[in-house]
Structures are given as C-alpha cells and as structure tokens.
Amino acid sequence: MGSMFRSEEVVLVQLFLPTSAAYTCVSQLGELGLVEFRDLNASVSAFQRRFVGDVRRCEELEKTFLFLQEEVRRAGQVLSRPEGRLPAPPPRDLLRIQEETDRLAQELRDVRGNQQSLQVQLHQLWLHAAVLGQGHGPPLAATHADGPSERVPLLQPPGGPHQDLRVNFVAGAVEPSKAAALERLLWRACRGFLIASFRETEQQLEDPVTGEPSTWMTFLISYWGEQIGQKIRKITDCFHCHIFPYAEHEEGRLGALQQVQQQSHELQEVLGETERFLSQVLARVQQLLPPWQVQIRKMKAVYLALNQCSVSATHKCLIAEGWCAARDLPTLQQALQDSSSEAGVSAVVHRIPCRDMPPTLIRTNCFTASFQGIVDAYGVGRYQEVNPAPYTIITFPFLFAVMFGDVGHGLLMFLFALAMVLTENRPAVKSAQNEIWQTFFSGRYLLLLMGLFSVYTGFIYNECFSRATAIFSSGWSVAAMATQSDWSDAFLAQHPLLALDPNVSGVFLGPYPFGIDPIWSLAVNHLSFLNSFKMKMSVILGVTHMTFGVVLGVFNHVHFGQWHRLLLETLPELVFLLGLFGYLVFLVVYKWLQDYAARAASAPSILIHFINMFLFSRSPTNQPLFHGQEAVQSALVILALVMVPVLLLGTPLFLRWRHRSRSRRGPAGRQPDEDKSEILDSSDASVAGWGPDEEKAGCPEDGEAAEFVLSEVLMHQAIHTIEFCLGCISNTASYLRLWALSLAHAQLSEVLWAMVMRSGLGLGRKLGVAAVALVPIFAAFAVLTVAILLVMEGLSAFLHALRLHWVEFQNKFYSGTGYKLSPFTFASEEG
C-alpha cells in the first residue's frame, strides 16, 4: 500500500541477452510482467526487422486458427478455455504446430467439401424423387387463344394428320417464389403450345447451403416440336430450375423412382459416415486449438518484443532497454539467470541513467482499483507526484453521501454492493458478459462505501425514505410551551400554526444527541432550516477540501526539491484562500457557537458581513459578531490582495535570478566539488525538469544551459495565478451543489412518499382492504424508488462528486500529465 500515496520508483534498465537464450528470457519476462520494453529500432521499418519472418508465420497460423474456430462455431460447438498456464512454446515447436494445423485445416476443407457435395447430390435425388413420386394428374389443356374448348382432345387419333408428331416431357423443380413468373413466361414464349402442371412438395427439404428447411414447386411440362423444347430448356435454365429425366410410361417412372430411392439411401449412409468423421476431426480441433491459440499469441508477442531489441556489434547478443520497478530488479535478475542458464552465458541487467520522465506505476488490488480508476480517468499522474487515490477512498463516498443522504436508500445500495462483494469469486459472476453488470461489478467496493456513507449522512439528516425517526428523545418540549403560555381554546382555534419559543424555560431541553432533531420534520419552516444548514455545511466542506488539496501540493514541492514554491506559491495560495473563504468558515462556526435565541431579530447576517468585507464598509443595522471585526476583515482583504502579485511574480523572478547566477558561474568557474555535486544531483535535476512548464526553461538540457525565456514563464504563471484566484471563488460556489443535490434528493423522496405510499395508506383505511391495496402500491413505490432515487439520483450525485474531485480538488496539486507503466506481459494473451 506504500505505493498508493506516491508512484513507485521506476528505473531504466539495459538487458544483454545471449542470442541463443533471448527467446527464453523474453518469454520468462512475459510470464512475470516486470519490464516495459523501449523500441530501439524506431527508425527501422517493421518489414526490415530481424524476426519479421517469425511474426508472419505466427500471423498465418492465427488466420488458420480463425478458420478452424469458425468451423467449430459452424458445427454448433464451443471452444473451452485451456486449463492452467501455458508457456510460450520453443521456436522448434512452431513448425510442428504449423504442420498439424495445416493438416487439420486441410482435412476439414476436404470433409466439408465432400459433405457439401454429398448434400447437394442428396438434395437433387430428393427433388427427383419428389418429381417422380408426386402425381400431377390430368393436366389442364393449353390451346390457342381462339382454339376449341378444353374438352376436345389435344392429340388426334392415330392415322390423323399429326400422326408423326411425338409428345415430349420436361420435369423438374423450381423455387416457389419463381414458379408464377416461370409459368407466365412459358405461356407467353411458347404461345400456349404446351401443357404445364405445378405442384408444391408435400414435405420440406433441407437446403444444402443454408441448412434451413424449404418447400419446392415441382412441374411437368408436355410439349411437341423441337423448337418449343429448346425454348422451354432455355427458360428453365434462366430460372435455375432443376431438370430431371421423366419417362413416358408409368412402369419406367416407377423403376426410376425405385432407383432414385436406393441411391438416396446409399448417399445417406455415406453422408452419415462423413459426418461422423467430421465430428472426430472437430473433436481433435476442440482439444488442440485452445492451447495452440494461447501459445502462438505468446510466441508472436515474444517476437514482437525481440524486434524492439538491437543487435550487438558481434551479433552474439541482443540489447534491450526497458522500464522496471526498482523493487523488482532482484526478481528480474534472477529470472534472466534462470532462463539463460542452459545457454552457457548468463544474461546481464544493469541500471542506466536517463533524463526522460519514467512511467507511473501504482499497484492496486480489487479494493483500490476502482478509486485509482477515478483518478486515472482525469489523467495519469506524473512520476512520483502525490496520488489522490488514497484520499479519494474517503472523500469521494463522503461527498456522494452528502448529496445522497438517506438511511433507506443508502442501505439498499450497501446491500447490493455487499452481495457482489460476497460472490465476487464465483466464476458465473466474473464471466458475465452484460456490460452494465460489468460496470457495477468493477466498482463494487466503491458502491459499498458510497452506500455505507449514505447511511451515515442519512442518520445525520434523520431521513429514512424521507421519514424522520425518533431514535432519541426530542430536545423540544411542547408540553412546557403549552403550560407556560396563553394557549387558550380560542387562541388555538384562531392560530392553526404554533411556534415554540426557546426563551421559555423548559421548551428547549438541549441539542439532539446525533443528527437533526425529528421534531423539525413537523415544522413548517423545516425546509428553510435545512437550506441554511446544508448551504453552510457545503461551504465548510468545500473550503476544507480545497485547503487539503493545496496542502498536498507541499509534499510535491518537497519531494521534487522545489523549495522556492513553498514560499512563492503554496504560502500565498493558503493565505489567499484562508484569508477570504477560511474567514467565511470561521464566521459560520462562530455564529453557530453563539446563542441568539433571546435576540434573534437583531442577529447579524454573515452574508452582509462578507460583502462589506470586500467593500470596506459597514451596515448600521447589521451588528458585528465580535469586537474589532471590521479591522480584521480589512486586514485579511489587504493581505489577500498582496498575495496576488507575490503569486504572479515570485516564481518567475526567482527562476530568472537562478538562471543568471548559473550563467555567471559558467562551466569554467566551477570547482571540482561543484562538478561532483552536479553529478550526484543529476537525478534531482532531472526530477525538477519534470515539473510545471514554467520551470522547464531553467533546467539544463544535454549538459548545456537552455535559453531562459522570461515572457513564457510569466505567461504560465499568470495563467496559474488567474486560475487559482478566480477558482477560489468559483470552486467555493461549485461546492454549493452539495446543498442543491441533497435538497433535490430529499424533496424527490418526500414527493414519492406523499404521492404513492401516503395515498395508498389512506386508501386502505377507507375501504378496509389495506392488505390487498398496499401490495401493488408498495410494488410501485419500490420500483420508482430504485429507478428514480437509486439509479437516476445516484448517477447524478456520482457525476457531481466526480466533478468536485477532478476540478475543485485535484487541480490544486495534481497535474495528471504522466503515462502508465505498461509492462510486457502475457496476461492479455491468456484471457
């Protein structure tokens, strides 16, 4: 957990890997996930690198794997995840995996081809049998438009003028959607010199391409004349009809039908054997493909990492550079020694100096990951700057709860998150693919604390589903007011609203032990009281939160050795913020501690005092809170105004003076002790170079003094000064969203209770069916509570709390201009 407060120390290391053991060493580093490799061949094209051939072979294998996976999916089967951790295969196994993969792919292609061919043949035989077995009956006679009636025989008796003509037949099948068009075109093209009969098949036949059952239209066309026959064949070819031989005699058709049925039976047996062999091949694919996919992905990742290494002059070793956590260096050295032991030459790792900003490494667990994700969404922190995540663990749920305070709603959220936490290790919960569920599950600990803090603030507000609860005895006594006042029957009849006077002895017994007294829920001025309380509370929380952010910036300045910023930036910022808005918080707390019950009409107004503070004036009707208040206010305003030029000009003038002093001394004027100090402090100088932009002009670069541009430094500092001074005002006002969202949540809860539950309870008393009437009413109340108050209001409060942390809190000390350490690891390949 130490690295949560500040990113870990990350160093640049150089690896010397023997050529014969380079693959094994990088593979072991991928299993451990310790090093982020730097590309030493950035100027070399990807097609000219040393291991590009091996990468291409892996990519070709991945294409073959994709074909095999698609075939398994096509068969309705699922690939299982490989069990255990599979190491990257040695390079010599690549040829074996490639040969076996190609053989399996070729077998699948052959078997699939044979299966499709057999299915097409079987489909043709089924259609042929349907044509032969489906009796078309006596066809309708088609004659000329002006010919005789249908009862006149089409063929003349033997010996007539047409005794040399022979009737021919064309039989086949066509898709039902084309049957009407085919019949219409045949009639028009052949002018009716044919007899066509169309019938739909009684049974559906499986399509050999799509595998879906479909119906077909069988047809029988009788005609005479060679030219008419040619036209019919051309038209049927255009409609992609299946044409089958059709015997003239019934005996021939029955014989052909028996032969087709026998061929169909034989084809079905062959097709069954083919499908059984296909199942065997797919079973082998299911067994071998998952581990091969993982291993080849790992092998490809290793070769891509090796492509980032440079080759030594003797071509005996590969040189790699990468970022690694300082605490992981012993583990890295041991892993390289173990991996290169068989090569006879041990791999070597050593630290090298670097002026580039290292990546940021912050280790998280299942609890802290969601809070660190909130911070990283704003921006990854600079190397070793203060990490806001540990403080966000407390402040984020608390600010959310201030806007969402309700015991009932917080308890529901807490129980929902607790259920996810208790079942987090179940495989079904982890592997759920629903995107919304994954979002909630990844933030389960955040939801747990948000619900818990909401229960706490709900007890402070004394609200549970908008209802107040009397856990302790109220601090107000109505009986004492009634006995010591002139509340007669006539007075009570004329005054429907009664006021409790705390000046009457025995009426106010003391403050409520915890939270807000439940008697306020019965008061007419309940909303006015809560508005005043929550508004002042929001200002106090906001100023405290911003002040804490400015204080955290002190740790950044101390760590990076920027001591001048403590006096020239942090101190003026604190004086400006606390002198104005810290004083406002003081006025609020001071007035809370005073007793104005006896003189409530003349109680001073904090708002008027704060306005007069900037106008250097006073209001005769507004009494001061304490003696000498005007002098204190004037001094604080003057002090805050003095801090503005200090904040604006202090850092630029200091940097200009430091740059000039360094320029006067120059390299020739340095003593040996100074040179030694420069070498020892080089790391600190580089750290200072990772600071804000206005300091980069004063940092040495490549051993030479960089040009100092005062205008750029002044511009950056002016932007920072304006942003901070105006931000103190706007950010303080921004924290009033805590009051607004809390008020909105309470009023929505009140409206929902009044319009649903209160109406239902009243309806039950009138009709005497409370048990029956309240079931649907409570169901509607529960659904609306979850949908509106938990989901919609919860999301709104979450977004506002997120904004308060990103804009109002983190911009006081957190730059978020770094980048994460992304070590070379096989974790993603195994997923």
pLDDT of residue 46: 83
Q: In the structure, what pLDDT confidence band is assigned to residue 464 with cuts at 50, 70 and 90?
A: very high
Q: Which of 108-117, 444-453, 790-799 has the lowest mean pLDDT?
A: 108-117
The tokens for 711 are 């205008």
pLDDT over threshold 60, residue 187: yes
pLDDT over threshold 60, residue 673: no
- Tens of pLDDT, residues 593-630: 888 777 777 788 888 989 989 988 888 888 888 888 89
pLDDT of residue 636: 94
Distance between CA atoms of residues 455 and 469, nearest Å: 13
Using an 8 Å Cβ cutoff, are 805 and 814 in contact? Answer: no
pLDDT over threshold 80, residue 466: yes
Distance between CA atoms of residues 199 and 174, nearest Å: 10
Residue closest to 409 by CA, chosen among 824, 797, 96, 671: 797
Distance between CA atoms of residues 461 and 534, nearest Å: 10
- Tens of pLDDT, residues 255-307: 888 888 888 888 888 988 988 998 999 999 999 999 999 999 999 999 999 99
pLDDT of residue 495: 77
pLDDT over threshold 60, residue 667: no
Write the DSSP assignment of 435-491 as a string of letters. Answer: HHHHHHHHTHHHHHHHHHHHHHHHHHHT-BTTB---SS--SB-HHHHHHHS---HHH
- In which element (H, E) is residue 323 found? strand 317-325
Between strands 194-200 and 217-224, the pairing is antiparallel
pLDDT (mean) for 533-561: 94
In Å, what is the CA distance from 544 to each residue of 68, 403, 541, 741?
Answer: 62, 17, 5, 19
Q: Which of 234-248, 764-778, 783-797 has the lowest mean pLDDT?
A: 764-778
pLDDT (mean) for 642-650: 93
pTM, two decimal places:
0.79
Residue closest to 392 by CA, chosen among 459, 445, 437, 325: 445
pLDDT (mean) for 737-746: 94
- In which element (H, E) is residue 214 found? strand 213-214
pLDDT over threshold 60, residue 638: yes
Q: In the structure, what pLDDT confidence band is assigned to residue 145 with cuts at 50, 70 and 90?
A: very low
Q: In the structure, what pLDDT confidence band is assigned to residue 634 with cuts at 50, 70 and 90?
A: very high
pLDDT (mean) for 46-59: 90
Burial of 315 (0-12, 13-18, 19+ CB in 10 A): exposed
Q: What residues contact residue 788 under an 8 Å CB cut-off, 6+ apart?
A: 748, 752
Across the chain, mean pLDDT equals 84
Using an 8 Å Cβ cutoff, are 471 and 477 in contact? Answer: no
DSSP code at position 46: G
Between strands 167-174 and 242-244, the pairing is antiparallel
Q: What residues contact residue 554 under an 8 Å CB cut-off, 6+ apart?
A: 566, 570
What percentage of the chain reaches a pLDDT higher than 90? 44
